[in-house]
Structure 1
Amino acid sequence: MMKTNLKDITGYILAGGKSSRMGTDKGLLLFEGKPMIQYVIEQMQPIFSKVVIVSNNPEYEKFGFEVIPDLIKDSGPAGGIYTALNHSDTKLNFMVSCDMPFVTAAAIEFVIKNSEESQIVLLENKARIEPLFGIYAKDCEPIWLELMEQKVIKLQEMVLRFQLKTIPVENNEIFATSFFKNINTKEDLNNALNRI
């Protein structure tokens, strides 16, 4: 098992653009009185010495972190990951979507602790790979760009082109049933609030 030095990992929050289904930036939507991205920040900040937000919206600067715009316009989460990899000066990078308010520091540390010499380390939940929560090596950047230029932008397909490690997490007490719930619609938001 690789002993990972946290100084060698940058934390990136993928805040994307305006959600057509929500009518606003998902990360700025209030969840229990706080913007959703704030929950992610609070869990990442104690772990990583450097946290960066990938977004075209300068409003995210109010959270006090560097905000970098997408290098490839309208390219979705794949473009956000590419932008982060291009920006990074660390060997490893931890990517998290801004719309995962149930993320915990314990879950982030679990992935880091279980990472090995792989280019990408992701969680697998009920046979589904979760590409928006995990480690991406800096050296993925050139092939990632090639895939995007070939119009391969479905994350589930892209990650399979790399040296990938998946960590099964079913029945793992660190991951509550709500952990993987992304908030994509107003109905999702209401359902999540009702579960609290």
Structure 2
Amino acid sequence: MTLKDHKKHSLITRPSFGNFGRNEWAILGTPCGTIKALADTVIQALAPKYKCAYVDASHAHADGETTLPGRLASGAEMEYTDQIHYHQFDLNRELNQFQFRQLFQEADVVLVNGNHQQARAQVVVIDNAKKASLQKRLSQLDNVALFILADDAEEVFDFVQKAIPAWQAIPTCRLSDTDKIITFFREQMQRAKPKLNGLVLAGGQSIRMGQDKGAMNWHGKEQRYYAADLLKEVCEEVFISCRPEQQAEIDSTYTALPDTFTGLGPYGAILSAFREQPDAAWLVVACDMPLLDSATLQHLVKNRNSSSVATTYVSPHDGFPEPLITIWEPKSYPVLLAFLAQGYTCPRKVLRNSVISLLEPLQAEALLNANTPEDSEKVKEILQQKTTS
């Protein structure tokens, strides 16, 4: 093998991030005060539904010596202050795009002052006050999503038209058209809602049950296939999670997803799903819920909050979030990895320490776990009663 043939790194699917987050827009072409005012308007409109973030730079010490705040002046690299109504971190070190993505990982929308920072998409304000400045930033206009005409502008500048051949296909509105600008961002966020996949957890050892829970037949077919068919009603793609050695026994009409994070139980199965498709949300259900029904899944999907880390039910057993019938959003992937890095592999612990949407189940028995032969007998009794009635 030659050096040219050698591959240094494994190829895995990367999440669709920009410099800060998945959905980010740099606003440029107008003075910073106008950018801040526009960002305020958009954030106020979106904040009730989405987690918004803003990126800017300070001009306070542009021409003079910088005095570091607080303990940073004494040599500290980081200082945290509980400001009661908000929380403040001061850092005395540079941050790169990988660290920025970690800091902004739960933001749904990131607006960026494009006069100072770049973002994956751009909103360009056509403003004579910043015409020369915009001309210097033409190389940054590689994904323009919206043109906004300032009060003194009648059309997109000639040099912008030449730099962007398809400029006429880009929507245009006036800076005073606040409603149109807000509508633009709302429509962008609706389009950006992650697709929903389904994942049946069927890779457990089933030690307490004494037989493979995924292969048990409660409804005329193996439970793993019954659960997968339920998920097909509400998900775009459905996978059956399994251990690598189980893959050959999965019916070929279903798609198996063997664990790539091994030895971690359900936690590893969820991470393996995100490794496969990191930009999808995953509706995860365990194969040991024989009373799970369509209504329970449809209610969960109908009340899904994609701005949360996850949407789940309150467990009727102990009142805590039920991690094994949960919609895990793409933003939960780095959260799950962060908990793993700290030595935790409990999905429930992640839910209990994250911003989630928690629902009451329509029917408590739909969330019943059957892990033992005693549980199995209880399920048989319930199903028999339903058949009789």
Query: Structure 1 stretch 111-120 or stretch 145-154: which is displaced more?
Result: 145-154
1:110 aligned to which of 299, 320, 338: 299
**Structure 1 residue aligned with 2:222:** 35
Alpha-carbon distance, 1:4 to partner: 9.2
Number of aligned residues: 191
Query: 2 CA distance for matches of 1:47 and 1:60?
Result: 25
Equivalent positions of 1:47-126 (< 5 A) are 47-56=234-243, 57-62=246-251, 64-116=253-305, 117-126=307-316
What SS is found at the alignment partner of 1:23? coil
**Structure 1 residue aligned with 2:369:** 182
1:73 maps to a residue whose letter is: T
Deviation digits for residues 168-196 of structure 1 (CA, Å, limit 9, x no counterpart): 23xx3xx2x42111110112112111222
1:53 maps to a residue whose letter is: I
**Structure 2 residue aligned with 1:45:** 232
Higher relative contact order (CA 8 A, sep 6+): 1
Distance 1:68 1:182, change over 3 A: same
Alpha-carbon distance, 1:90 to partner: 4.0
Distance 1:104 1:32, change over 3 A: closer
Query: 2 CA distance for matches of 1:95 and 1:70?
Result: 14
Query: 2 CA distance for matches of 1:45 and 1:6?
Result: 19
Aligned residues: CA RMSD? 2.4
2:205 aligned to which of 18, 21, 26: 18
Query: 2 CA distance for matches of 1:16 and 1:65?
Result: 15
TM-score by length of 2: 0.45
CA contact (8 A) 2:234 2:301 kept: no
Alpha-carbon distance, 1:94 to partner: 0.8
Deviation digits for residues 3-59 of structure 1 (CA, Å, limit 9, x no counterpart): 799981111111123211123321112225431223212211222231011101125
Equivalent positions of 1:131-146 (< 5 A) are 131-146=323-338
What SS is found at the alignment partner of 2:251? helix
Alpha-carbon distance, 1:111 to partner: 1.1
What SS is found at the alignment partner of 1:109? helix
Query: Structure 1 stretch 182-191 or stretch 142-151: which is displaced more?
Result: 142-151
Distance 1:32 1:104, change over 3 A: closer
Q: Select the structure of larger CA radius of gyration.
A: 2
**Structure 2 residue aligned with 1:158:** 350
Distance 1:81 1:4, change over 3 A: farther
CA contact (8 A) 1:39 1:103 kept: no
Structure 2, unaligned runs of 5 or more: 1-48, 51-189, 384-389
CA contact (8 A) 1:27 1:98 kept: yes
Identity %: 24
1:99 maps to a residue whose letter is: D
Query: 2 CA distance for matches of 1:180 and 1:92?
Result: 21
CA contact (8 A) 1:7 1:48 kept: no
